[in-house]
Amino acid sequence: MLNEEKSRSAEKKTKFYNIHERLGAKIVDFAGFQMPVQYSSIIAEHKRVRNTVGVFDVSHMGEVFVRGSKALDFVNHITVNDASKLFDGRVQYSAMCYPDGGIVDDLLVYRISDDEFMLVINASNIEKDFNWMKENNKFDAELINESDDYLLLAVQGPDSLKVIQKVCNKNVDLEYYHFMFAKIAGIDMIISRTGYTGELGYELYFKGDEADAEKVWNALFDAGKEFEIEAVGLGARDSLRLEMGFCLYGNDIDKTTNPLEAGLGWITKLKKEDFIGKETLVKVKEEGLSRKLVAMISEERSFPRHGYDITIDGKKIGHITSGTVSPILEKPIALGYVEKEYAVEDTRVNFNIRNKEVPARIIKLPFIKK
């Protein structure tokens, strides 16, 4: 009954790997890294983040630095959002597209100064993205892939600020999607008020070895003891983001989907001058979408999973891209693409789960109202 998934072919380990082993984490291959999928229970870890605070090792994510007088021009050419709106200390959610409008990756753009940006990309796409950046570097910006040097912890949950503030050498007073430079446990880092959970949360970018990793980790866990701070694995990271309806590259978005149909029109600035994919996306917008990513919920006892069909009266109208049973709502929830005409709130649809039609309906995101 068990699908054998325990291959340990992944080469890379993060600097927190020894800590994960010590905590008894279940380790899986993810994007070439040996990553903790869970420590105790995905559901318990999920609730820990919603209720108090949890810590994720997401050091597998990639960091590319763009430097030089043409750094902004490069970023604006290669991403769909308008990076000229950024100021020092500001973060922006964005995406890179191919000329045909398909998505290369979604990413975070950090403006460190007018001639330095940090692009944070998905672990599974680091090589592809970096090559894409180099191929399209018509401005000759300096591009440096520092993914292997950076450690990244996400501290997420309503008590996250209290924990961070206890161990940070500066007053942490950050608005959403803003960042600062400060020290924790004597180590220089970027503290960014970002995350992938929908909760108040911070992400800590820093360089160092295993000993530095231990220092920061221990400082956070000592400070977080009173909030029952816990390590959280990739399993809960996925269910937390899904409850908010955040897209996951490889599931909900990829090179076959464009940002408009994925509900990412809000980051796609079609009025911006020249960017890769603009021509196609303008045309897509004029001609209208053929399908849209929607959120669905069911009252049944079933588990919608990636790849299952979405049907109405036995006719396929789309497919599920992400699904789970929400640990908070205790109901099946899913994201999926459906033909445009059905992408209307309250439309009754079915999940086709192993040839059973399971009733569900389309709702507005997020699943969890914050």
Positions that interact with other proteins (CB under 8 A) = 1-3, 5, 26, 37-38, 41-43, 235, 239, 301-303, 305, 324-325, 354
Residue (14 or 326) nearer to other proteins, CB: 326
For residue 3, the minimal CB distance to other proteins (Å) is 6
For the chain, how long is the longest CA-to-CA vector?
62
How far apart, in whole angstroms, are the C-alpha atoms of residue 264 and residue 261?
A: 7
How far apart, in whole angstroms, are the C-alpha atoms of residue 352 and residue 350?
A: 6
For residue 328, the minimal CB distance to other proteins (Å) is 13
Residue (14 or 239) nearer to other proteins, CB: 239
For residue 236, the minimal CB distance to other proteins (Å) is 9
How far apart, in whole angstroms, are the C-alpha atoms of residue 18 and residue 131?
A: 31
For residue 264, the minimal CB distance to other proteins (Å) is 26
For residue 240, the minimal CB distance to other proteins (Å) is 12
**Nearest by Cα to 253 from 60, 58, 98:** 98
For residue 44, the minimal CB distance to other proteins (Å) is 8
Residue (101 or 304) nearer to other proteins, CB: 304
Residue (2 or 211) nearer to other proteins, CB: 2
Q: How many CB atoms lie within 10 A of CB 208?
A: 18
* Cross-strand bridge partners of residue 324: 333
For residue 326, the minimal CB distance to other proteins (Å) is 10
For residue 91, the minimal CB distance to other proteins (Å) is 30
Phi, psi for residue 98 in degrees, rounded to 5: -80, 165
Residue (46 or 111) nearer to other proteins, CB: 46
* Cross-strand bridge partners of residue 320: 336
**Nearest by Cα to 231 from 154, 128, 177:** 154
Residue (24 or 186) nearer to other proteins, CB: 24
Peptide bond into 366 cis (omega under 30): yes
Q: Where are the alpha helices (DSSP H) in 56-170?
A: 71-78, 126-135, 160-167
Residue 217 Cα distances to 18, 22, 38, angstroms: 12, 13, 17
Residue (122 or 239) nearer to other proteins, CB: 239
Phi, psi for residue 84 in degrees, rounded to 5: -70, -15
Residue (96 or 240) nearer to other proteins, CB: 240
Phi, psi for residue 15 in degrees, rounded to 5: -70, -10
